[in-house]
Amino acid sequence: MHLDREEKQNLLHVFNLITTKGHKTESVYELSGIRASYDFDGYTCWLAYRDLTVTLMFHGSYDFEYQHKETLEFFFKMVSNLLAEKDNL
């Protein structure tokens, strides 16, 4: 899967939104069903939703793991919705 620059930035914006506005349980933040976490040094971040895990790595690398294409499609719709509503959260 290929992401353009804007899509990568959107994932980082959503990660930031979830970690600032979401509910924290232990080391995982959650907002609207999307979970966000990161490793101890912050070089690797994860977004998770249902059977989907997005790994965001230093220097813009990323990896998607999922079982159902529908989950991936719905995840990107949720990302768009969260970014559109970020001022109202």
**Assigned token pair, 63:** 């990896």
pLDDT at 69 over 90: yes
What are the b/e assignments for 39-66, b being 16+ CB within 10 Å? Answer: eeeeeebbbbbeebebebeeeeebeeeb
Beta pairing class for 52-57 and 62-65: antiparallel
pLDDT tens, residue by residue, 14-49: 999 999 999 999 999 999 999 999 998 879 999 999
Domain edges within the chain: 5-76
Candidates 79, 48, 84; CA nearest to 64 is 48
Residue 6, SS3? helix
